[in-house]
Amino acid sequence: MTDIREINERIERESAFIELLKLELDKVIIGQQYMVDRLLIGLLANGHLLLEGVPGLAKTLAIKSLAQTIDAAFSRIQFTPDLLPADLVGTMIYNQKQEQFTVRKGPLFANFILADEINRAPAKVQSALLEAMQERQVTIGETTHKLPEPFLVLATQNPVEQEGTYPLPEAQVDRFMLKIVIGYPNREDERKIIRQNLAAEFPKPSKVVSPEQIIRARQVVREVYMDEKIENYIVDIVFATRFPADSGLAKYQPLISFGGSPRASISLAHAAKAYAFIRRRGYVIPEDVRAVCLDVLRHRIGLTYEAEAENITTEHIVQEILNTVEVP
């Protein structure tokens, strides 16, 4: 029998740093609370994040600021069409003194990886991230090297320009736990952004968390209680993306070419637990699942030409599924 009270007490102790993180990020990021929460979910659930939005919405700034609040190694990789896989993972260098090849590790050997404008690099480079993101290891020559813990890839993508870009393959998109679409700030926040950027000195976040605290918090997140009814609710949602007709959404059957994979169910469960942890709760409720559902599923549903012709988006389909599937 799971002791909810004991889990709640552990969460109270281990989640104290969340408020510190938010305070430090609030110094730099104005508005965008939704994005900050999703960054924390990815951090706690050990899942990679894909941020999409037009230029100038603080995507890169948010990721850099998060890395600065944690006393950990940070690498920024600017993806360009001429990038090579070795520029990410590293390569073998011949050492003349020792008369042998030695490994020179690439920027992937860090705790936080900012893959800036990931869709600007060709498929060969994008696929170099696959092993790193899934297996948390990199192979250079004949040797496999473990990546440091915690390891998190935070990628940004510009949806405006299509010229000179390479759409991410489905296999890679599926490896991102969350896809966060960022919108414009409101008028009041925009005024504060102007004022902040005109100030004599731009604020910098302080290091308030150690990697060990993050690893401990991730273990506690895994212990957050999830009832069987919530598990069934997650499965019902994911199955509705695959077989809409079975869930009373027959009109969407011709609009969906493929639904969420089992990785979608796993990501939804992990993200819901992390969301409950941020809310200082030792158990998952249906609202936690609904809160993260859109970010988990929006990039895992394939649309047919009919859907695009009718201007139906994955967001619209996910919302309809949430409105239709029975809440426990």
Read off the CATH number of the domain in which 317 is found: 1.10.8.80
Q: Report the DSSP pairing between strands 90-95 and 302-303.
A: unpaired
In angstroms, the CA 192 to CA 30 distance is 7
Domain C-terminal end among 215, 247, 277: 215
Domain C-terminal end among 215, 237, 253: 215
Residue 128 domain-assigned (yes or no) = yes
In angstroms, the CA 174 to CA 235 distance is 17
Buried b or exposed e, range 72-88, using 16+ CB within 10 angstroms: bebbbbebeeebebebb
pTM for the complete prediction? 0.87
Q: Which residue range is the domain that position 103 belongs to? A: 7-215
Residue 199 domain-assigned (yes or no) = yes
How would you write the pLDDT of the chain (328 residues) with one tens digit per residue?
Answer: 567 788 888 888 888 888 888 888 888 888 788 888 998 999 999 899 998 887 777 777 887 888 888 888 888 888 888 888 888 888 878 777 777 787 788 888 888 888 888 888 888 888 778 778 888 888 887 788 888 888 888 888 877 766 667 777 777 788 899 999 888 888 888 898 888 888 878 888 888 888 888 888 999 999 899 999 999 999 999 999 999 888 888 888 888 888 888 999 999 999 999 999 999 888 999 999 999 999 999 999 888 898 888 888 888 999 999 999 988 8
Same domain, 90 and 28: yes
Identify the three-state secondary structure at position 188.
helix
Report the CATH number that the domain containing residue 25 is assigned in CATH: 3.40.50.300
Tally the domains of the chain: 2
User: Are the beta carbons of 192 and 30 closer than 8 angstroms?
Assistant: yes
Residue 251 domain-assigned (yes or no) = yes
pLDDT at residue 264 in the model:
93
pLDDT at residue 133 in the model:
85
In angstroms, the CA 24 to CA 208 distance is 8
Distances (CA, A) of 55 to 66, 179, 191, 217, 270: 19, 16, 18, 33, 30
CA 323 to centroid of chain Cα atoms: 25
**Which two three-digit tokens encode residue 100?**
């042998």
**Which two three-digit tokens encode residue 67?**
């890395």
> Could you tell me how many helices (H) and strands (E) the chain has, helices first?
14, 11
Distances (CA, A) of 226 to 264, 266, 269, 270, 296: 17, 12, 8, 10, 18
**Which two three-digit tokens encode residue 90?**
């590293």
